[in-house]
Amino acid sequence: MQEYRRLISMSELTSDGLFRGMLHQQPYLVTIVKGAVVVAMDRCPHADFPLSSARRDGDCVVCPMHNGVFDLTTGDSVGTRKFNPLCRVVSRVTDGYVEILVDPASSEPVRSATAIEA
Ligand code: FES
């Protein structure tokens, strides 16, 4: 059975910043888009650059390595060069903390296929 685990305190986040949360030695990108928390694996789908060290441009994250542009609301690659989508994970906010859904047996996160409403 899957369960939610704490990743990072909401008090560490700002509305347009990119943050890193750690769980089970795995880094996650955490950010807020359109008032909703978005969590993804903290590595670019192209060549693993840590996206928490990248740049926000509106609702997108821009990877400085090869200018990959990823829409944080959908995970899609939206730049001129196309890459695989971001690996977003299921998250929620409870008691002031961002939590992610994981499989307790493997500690693997559950991927999110849900887009954030505009
Ligand atoms: S590593 Fe991010 S675009 Fe290549």
The response to whether residue 44 sits with its C-beta less than 6 Å from ligand 1 reads yes
Q: Which residues fall within 8 angstroms of residue 103, CB to CB, at 6 or more apart? A: 2, 109, 110
Residue 40 alpha carbon to ligand 1 centre in Å: 15
The response to whether residue 46 sits with its C-beta less than 6 Å from ligand 1 reads yes
Q: What is the pLDDT of residue 113?
A: 83
At the top level of CATH, the class of 3-109 is: mainly beta
Q: How far apart are CA 35 and CA 47, in angstroms?
A: 29
Cβ-based neighbour number of residue 104 at 10 Å: 10
pLDDT in tens, the chain (118 residues): 899 999 999 999 999 899 999 999 999 999 999 999 999 999 999 999 999 999 999 999 999 999 999 999 999 999 999 999 999 999 999 999 999 999 999 999 999 987 776 5
End-to-end Cα separation, the chain, in angstroms: 31
* pTM to 2 decimal places: 0.95
Query: Which ligand 1 atom is the nearest neighbour of the CA of 68?
Result: 3
The response to whether residue 55 sits with its C-beta less than 6 Å from ligand 1 reads no
